[in-house]
Amino acid sequence: MPLGELFDEPTDTRQELMGATYCALCEHGYAELTIQRISDQFPKSKSLLYHHYDSKDELLVEFLSFVLEHLESTIPEDDDEPLEALESLLDHLLPTDPSAEQQQFIRAIVELRAQAASTPAYQTQFTRSTECIQNRLVAIINRGQNQGVFRPLEADQLAAFVVATIDGAMIQQATTDSTHTHSRVRKVRTELETCLEARLIRSDTEATE
């Protein structure tokens, strides 16, 4: 489910607040975001927003937790064949042709990620999300090794490399001229897949040894 659709039919006040934050963040970016601009997107009483949150950063930490929980919950399950599971995960984390909404959201997340350098509460949320993704990669790699599909190697090390590569591609996508962004992301994805194939997949000769 695209993130925007998550807020189309909110089921409670928290979801309405998170939807208002999402719209305001995408429209104004972190630097220009204010509680007032978030409240302008909130359909209920503005006093309700101020009652729950004292500052923009307090609300954004809650929003970040909400969004990362959603993203983690939509990570494809790893019960497919290891190669298919790995491909599905890469499609989820590093799409080569992101929609306009995905691009907009990536920019917003990168802006928030920049604040993690000086805001421990943001850092905690991004650390949790990174560990979730890395653990899923490790599980896929380990399963492939157990089935004899993947070579024996340090799964943690390779997973850390994959996550760092994806993070770098997202930052580049959000902070460079969009004219050639898709081309660059596709090149990164292609090279990442080439690297994983060379490092991970056992040849027919190795499989019979």
Q: Comparing C-alpha atoms, which of 91, 96, 101 is closest to residue 27?
A: 101
Question: Does position 177 have pLDDT exceeding 80, yes or no?
Answer: no
Q: Comparing C-alpha atoms, which of 206, 205, 75 is closest to residue 140?
A: 75
% of the chain at pLDDT higher than 70: 90
Q: What is the sign, positive or negative, of the torsion defined by CA atoms of 113, 116, 122, 128?
A: positive
Give the Cβ contact number of residue 168 at 10 Å.
Answer: 11
Q: Which pLDDT score is estimated for 5?
A: 63
Q: How far apart are CA 58 and CA 120, in angstroms?
A: 12
**Do 170 and 107 lie in a common domain?**
yes
Q: Give the end of a domain, one of 74, 106, 136.
A: 74
**Do 130 and 61 lie in a common domain?**
no
Q: Give the end of a domain, one of 36, 59, 74.
A: 74
**Do 157 and 122 lie in a common domain?**
yes
Q: How far apart are CA 58 and CA 100, in angstroms?
A: 28
- What are 15-40's pLDDT values in tens digits? 888 888 888 888 888 888 888 899 88
Q: How far apart are CA 94 and CA 169, in angstroms?
A: 8
Average pLDDT over residues 42-50: 80
Max mean pLDDT among 8-12, 87-91, 102-106 falls in 87-91
Q: How far apart are CA 114 and CA 123, in angstroms?
A: 9
How many structural domains does the chain have? 2
| Angle between helix 181-200 and 155-175 (nearest 10) | 170
**One-letter amino acid of 186:** R
Q: Which pLDDT score is estimated for 1?
A: 42
Residue 201: give its domain's CATH number. Answer: 1.10.357.10
Q: Which pLDDT score is estimated for 195?
A: 94
Q: How far apart are CA 45 and CA 53, in angstroms?
A: 14
**One-letter amino acid of 139:** A
Average pLDDT over residues 102-127: 86
**Do 152 and 175 lie in a common domain?**
yes
**Do 90 and 34 lie in a common domain?**
no
Q: Which pLDDT score is estimated for 200?
A: 94
**Do 39 and 108 lie in a common domain?**
no
42 band by pLDDT with thresholds 50, 70 and 90:
confident
Which domain range does residue 132 map to? 77-209
Q: Whole-prediction pTM value?
A: 0.82
Q: Give the end of a domain, one of 41, 74, 107.
A: 74
Phi and psi dihedrals of 93, rounded to 5? Answer: -90, -30
Q: Across-strand partners of 150?
A: 201
**Do 153 and 125 lie in a common domain?**
yes
**Do 83 and 184 lie in a common domain?**
yes
**Do 81 and 183 lie in a common domain?**
yes
4 band by pLDDT with thresholds 50, 70 and 90:
low
* Cβ-proximal residues to 128 (8 Å cutoff; 6+ apart), any chain: 68
More confidently predicted of 162 and 73 = 162
Q: Which pLDDT score is estimated for 15?
A: 84
Question: Does position 185 have pLDDT exceeding 70, yes or no?
Answer: yes
More confidently predicted of 81 and 102 = 81
**Do 70 and 144 lie in a common domain?**
no
